[in-house]
Structure 1
Amino acid sequence: MRRTGGSSVAEGIGIATGGEGKFFRRAVKVDEAQQHILTAATGQTMASELVPLAECGGRRLAQQLAATSDWPPFARSGLDGYAMRAADTAQATPDAPASLRIVATVAAGGIAAATVEQGTAARIMTGAAVPRGADAVVMLEQTAEAVLAGGEEAVLIKAAARPGQNVAPRGEEFRLGSPLATPGTVIRPGHIALLGTFGYANVPVYRRPRVAVFATGSELLPVDAPLAPGRIRDSNSYMVAAMIRESGAEPLLCGTLPDKPEAVLAALARVREQCDIVITTGGVSVGDYDVMADIFRGMASHSTEQTRHSYTLFNRVAMRPGSPTSGGVVDGKLVIALSGNPGACFVGFELFARPALRAMQGDACPLLRSVKATLVTSIGKGSPHVRYVRIRLQQNSDGSLLADPLAFSKSSMMASLADADGLAVIPSGSVGAEAGDLIEVLLLP
């Protein structure tokens, strides 16, 4: 891995123009390329910011937060009923209920004015603080109202109570200082409930990475333009933007770029201060007009000992689809160059860009989660590189998973992208995989 210095994008970056070198790019394994990307991404971890509790859902926590009190903060009733001493009901039955004088009524948010002593009880509502002296609550359905000889209100308890029955003791769920969530955790509705409970009106989260998205290729048209001979609409930018949002980041759609290295470098320089990372699609293969390949190859072959702000991480990966996928740092910004083929662009984002964005937001396990599944249909074609095949997951009657390969899964095809919920990992070799084989599947978000 060679590096090249320079204080701006264009300075110190050589642009390779000879076509021959494109055919001799060393392919790194997927896990090696991922490690390069993650090392660069974690070096650019986002700063934290405070956001209101109501707006923090889906963000990643930037600090470990802890319980600010015991929870519950007091012994509370789990239902509507009567609070009493369990010992006073030890002999109670439906035919011979225990009679207890009512000394208080406690609503949620209130405190009983009297202590529950021997022979007494307090009417209590769900969530209310259990009065002093009481150690159990009996539900209303097991009681009956009564009046004592002197006209005082009483309750008849028809079953013996156990100490602690229907009482949530103080600190049952959390103790003061107990951890609520660790940094990098995606804040979900359940977390928000906890944070609100413990008074976190503002929550420290990682800032969302800003991602500049470029599509390279003089053949590309805006999505609202009519088709023209030999031209196609730029759909990749919008797919990538949606995947960026799904990763918790903010896309900056920067349009299309011509197949001219100088124009690409100038565009990167223009967005440098606006973004944290750059993702491009197209221009990474071996054609005469594959501009990103020329830039990365030039960076790899043009090394100086200056400030080393620009360098190539890799410019070919041993994978199908998307082997020309490239990564590097240009003027201090991580740049991931994805294939222009929709299927290869999709796979490349999941393997490299999504993990990078997660790592920049403190995710300690940013790679896609994998499961084992049984292949439904044979994938007979072999490949010199590991293949990532779009599949639909199904659940067998015994709970095991089935991986059903989707049609139209070539790198240039997009028909199956919307239906894929996993990527089957097919090892390299002269043959693919047979129906019935147990394979690894990467789960798509």
Structure 2
Amino acid sequence: MLERRKPIWVKEAIDYVMQLKKHGDTEIVSIDDCDGRFLAEPLVADHDVPPFDRSPYDGFALRAIDTKKASGKTPLTFKVIDEIGAGQVSPFEVGCMEAIRIMTGAQIPQGADCVIMLELTQEEQRSEGTFIAIKRSLNKGDNISYQGEDTKKGNLLINKGVAINPGIKALLATFGYSNVKVSKRPVIGIIATGSELLNPDENLVPGKIRNSNGYMIESQILRAGAKFKRYGSISDNLDSLFETIMIALNECDILITTGGVSVGDFDYLPEIYRKLGANLLFNKIAMRPGSVTSCAEKDGKFLFGLSGNPSACYIGFELFVRPYIRYWLRSEQPFLRFIRGTLKKDFLKANPFSRFVRGKIVYENGMVFAEPVGLDKSGVVTSLAWADCLIILPGGTRGYKKGDQVELLILDDQLGCDKPWVEAKFSK
């Protein structure tokens, strides 16, 4: 007997998943191995940056009051009493009509309160020493990077749950983090179901297709910040599928299956959920594509049943699995970031449910536009290669026209958002 299903709204499905969200464990990794990992604790400045007043240029440190009468017609001459490079500190104090040659990054010597750049001076060697002539006046503080102007000790620099990029890695090095506390990445098992599936290295034969979903999901998992474990393709056999799922649940933190979630005679996931004694959260969502997406929970672990159609599978992961992973990694912005844009092409397909269309963002004259890419069919895979956003078209309309305002979910983005896109109609 075929299972009857009642669809729920996208927002409800997201809420069901996130009500059971949890943080994963933490671990310490070397700064050499922290790229792309997620901070498990906030990064706080343990000292001022810069830690002292320093020069941002090669030049001469002197007293601004001594330069007040300098001009092109009346250049002033200063005696150079010392020279310091980065990492050095002068033992001398700058006095009246004196200067110390200073290199970029070096500490401002005592008595000096400004720096004149090297190219604005003329140097002269005399028997009594080195002198410079300047033809302009300076103000106190000119060309000085003051202690703490970048950041003060105790300032919050980066919050927990943020992916470590090159800039954050620079901060970690600046504040002495040779070892970094990060969130331990969840291990996500992947099972592709279907007797029709072939591996990429196998030749096509009538009635068969290659397993693209498994490899696509692996890449999405890595982009979200997690790790995957591959369990291969399982033919449409209840016993073998159940056995593999049991193994995967013991070895992984989350399990994703692709295919086997519709209402055909060979779709065994509903029966497997029952056999596991899993808590079924939902098994149909009012959305296109991916309406047959399902989710169950067993002993604190999620089983996501994603569609066997590539586009539906892709979208199901981004909407429901990704935010759970990001929260696991302590992100305070686990959801896809969304912006508003203008539809660049007509999309006249009527639909009672919200539709997530693979799209590409176009920037023109400072404005954001989006246009659908490829065929809008759940089984289409080629359009995914070009999509950088999902165009949200709320249901209950007769389609959308060029020039309509639409919401866009940004795909390849690390910033995220602290709340999910709210399923609601808005004025065009």
**TM-score computed with the length of structure 2 as normaliser:** 0.93
Q: Supply the distance in 1 between the matched residues of 2:102 and 2:191 (Cα, whole angstroms).
A: 64
SS at match of 1:380: coil
SS at match of 2:168: helix
Q: Supply the distance in 2 between the matched residues of 1:427 and 1:152 (Cα, whole angstroms).
A: 79
SS at match of 2:52: coil
Would the alpha carbon gap of residues 134 and 430 (structure 1) be closer, same or farther in structure 2, given more than 3 Å must change? closer
Q: Supply the distance in 2 between the matched residues of 1:369 and 1:71 (Cα, whole angstroms).
A: 32
Residue 66 of structure 2: aligned partner: 88
Q: Supply the distance in 2 between the matched residues of 1:414 and 1:94 (Cα, whole angstroms).
A: 70
Q: Deviations over 1:139-160 (max 9, x none)?
A: 1122112345x62222212211
Q: Supply the distance in 2 between the matched residues of 1:161 and 1:285 (Cα, whole angstroms).
A: 76
Residue 177 of structure 2: aligned partner: 200
Q: Give the residue type in structure 2 aligned to 1:200.
A: Y
Residue 418 of structure 2: aligned partner: none
Q: How does 1:175-190 map to 2 (within 5 A)?
A: 175-190=152-167
SS at match of 2:297: strand
SS at match of 2:398: strand
Contact 1:369 / 1:442 at 8 angstroms: preserved in 2?
Answer: yes
Contact 1:296 / 1:326 at 8 angstroms: preserved in 2?
Answer: no
Q: Give the residue type in structure 1 aligned to 2:142.
A: Q
Q: Deviations over 1:94-152 (max 9, x none)?
A: 2212222211101011111211112211010011011011100001122112345x622
Residue 245 of structure 2: aligned partner: 268
Give 1:161 deviation, angstroms. 1.1
SS at match of 1:436: coil
Contact 1:374 / 1:439 at 8 angstroms: preserved in 2?
Answer: yes
Give 1:194 deviation, angstroms. 1.2
Q: Supply the distance in 2 between the matched residues of 1:168 and 1:430 (Cα, whole angstroms).
A: 58
Q: How does 1:150-161 map to 2 (within 5 A)?
A: 151-161=128-138
Residue 387 of structure 1: aligned partner: 355
Contact 1:375 / 1:402 at 8 angstroms: preserved in 2?
Answer: yes
Q: How does 1:115-130 map to 2 (within 5 A)?
A: 115-130=93-108
Residue 207 of structure 2: aligned partner: 230
Q: Supply the distance in 2 between the matched residues of 1:283 and 1:427 (Cα, whole angstroms).
A: 27
Residue 11 of structure 2: aligned partner: 31
Q: Supply the distance in 2 between the matched residues of 1:176 and 1:318 (Cα, whole angstroms).
A: 50
Larger RCO: 1 or 2 (CA < 8 Å, sep 6+)? 1
Counterpart selection for 2:342 from 364, 368, 374? 374
SS at match of 1:123: strand
Residue 255 of structure 2: aligned partner: 278
Contact 1:408 / 1:414 at 8 angstroms: preserved in 2?
Answer: no
- Determine if the alignment matches structure 1 residue 99 to structure 2 residue 77: yes
Q: Supply the distance in 2 between the matched residues of 1:317 and 1:418 (Cα, whole angstroms).
A: 25
Give 1:356 deviation, angstroms. 1.6
**TM-score computed with the length of structure 1 as normaliser:** 0.89
Residue 4 of structure 1: aligned partner: none
Contact 1:106 / 1:125 at 8 angstroms: preserved in 2?
Answer: yes
Q: Is there any run of 5+ residues in structure 1 with no aligned partner, and where?
A: 1-17, 303-309
Q: Give the residue type in structure 2 aligned to 1:240.
A: I
Give 1:430 deviation, angstroms. 4.7
Counterpart selection for 1:69 from 47, 68, 77? 47
Q: Supply the distance in 2 between the matched residues of 1:434 and 1:189 (Cα, whole angstroms).
A: 41
Q: How does 1:12-411 map to 2 (within 5 A)?
A: 18-19=1-2, 22=3, 24-40=4-20, 42-43=21-22, 45-147=23-125, 151-296=128-273, 310-397=278-365, 399-411=366-378
Q: Supply the distance in 1 between the matched residues of 2:129 and 2:285 (Cα, whole angstroms).
A: 85
Q: Supply the distance in 1 between the matched residues of 2:235 and 2:190 (Cα, whole angstroms).
A: 14
- Determine if the alignment matches structure 1 residue 444 to structure 2 residue 422: no
Q: Give the residue type in structure 1 aligned to 2:53.
A: A
Aligned pair count reads 412
Q: Supply the distance in 1 between the matched residues of 2:195 and 2:298 (Cα, whole angstroms).
A: 23
Residue 399 of structure 2: aligned partner: 432
Give 1:415 deviation, angstroms. 1.9
Residue 3 of structure 1: aligned partner: none
SS at match of 2:399: strand
- Pick which of 29-38 and 255-264 moved more: 255-264
Q: Supply the distance in 1 between the matched residues of 2:315 and 2:18 (Cα, whole angstroms).
A: 17
Q: Supply the distance in 2 between the matched residues of 1:172 and 1:86 (Cα, whole angstroms).
A: 21
Give 1:295 deviation, angstroms. 2.9
Q: Give the residue type in structure 2 aligned to 1:427.
A: P
Contact 1:100 / 1:119 at 8 angstroms: preserved in 2?
Answer: yes
Q: Supply the distance in 1 between the matched residues of 2:119 and 2:205 (Cα, whole angstroms).
A: 76
Give 1:193 deviation, angstroms. 0.9
SS at match of 1:432: coil
Q: Supply the distance in 1 between the matched residues of 2:397 and 2:89 (Cα, whole angstroms).
A: 76
Q: Give the residue type in structure 2 aligned to 1:105.
A: E
Give 1:74 deviation, angstroms. 0.8
Q: Is there any run of 5+ residues in structure 2 with no aligned partner, and where?
A: 413-428
SS at match of 1:128: coil
- Pick which of 77-86 and 154-163 moved more: 154-163
Give 1:272 deviation, angstroms. 2.7
Q: Supply the distance in 2 between the matched residues of 1:92 and 1:437 (Cα, whole angstroms).
A: 63
Would the alpha carbon gap of residues 320 and 296 (structure 1) be closer, same or farther in structure 2, given more than 3 Å must change? farther
Q: Give the residue type in structure 1 aligned to 2:175.
A: F
Residue 426 of structure 2: aligned partner: none
Give 1:261 deviation, angstroms. 3.3
Percent pairwise identity: 41
Q: Give the residue type in structure 2 aligned to 1:350.
A: E
